[in-house]
Amino acid sequence: MRAVSVLRLAALGNLVVLLCLGSVLLGALYFGIASCGGYIWHRHAFVGFSVGMAIMAVAGSSTILPSLKVKIGFLIALPLLYVFVESAVAPFYPGPPSSPSEYWAAFTQAVQYGPCR
């Protein structure tokens, strides 16, 4: 009976980790494409939500994040993933780039200065 509850706890922890990762990806997509001219409180609410989800993900037990080293790597990778995805989609606002070199220039600018240029 005890092993079943430990497995359920790990499954719940895995779900929280995946929800955290998914919400960061969706937020990066949204803020990369549609954040220019939006409300600043949207970004603040997203950051608060993401930090809360990340804390829950590393505080719980899961098989996806089994050790402290992996949890620290997860916490480091989340903001890097956010910046990369946000910068990867930012060149498509307000329209797609006309060439790969234009995309690369807009991507590097978004990494350095954010999605709104």
DSSP result, 59-78 = HS--SSS-SHHHHHHHHHHH
Q: Where are the alpha helices (DSSP H) in the chain?
A: 2-34, 40-59, 68-89, 100-113
Instruction: Give the pLDDT confidence score for residue 40 in this predicted structure.
Output: 86
Cα separation, 8 vs 28, whole angstroms: 30
Give whichever of 8-17, 67-76, 88-97 has the largest mean pLDDT.
67-76
Token pair for 19: 């929800």
Which percentage of the chain shows pLDDT scores above 90? 69
| 8-state DSSP, 92 | G
Instruction: Give the pLDDT confidence score for residue 61 in this predicted structure.
Output: 87
Indicate the pTM of the whole model. 0.86
Instruction: Give the pLDDT confidence score for residue 38 in this predicted structure.
Output: 74
pLDDT digits (tens, 9 = 90+) for 35-83: 677 788 988 999 999 999 999 999 988 889 999 999 999 999 999 999 9
> Where does residue 49 rank: exposed (0-12), middle (13-18), buried (19+ CB within 10 A)?
middle
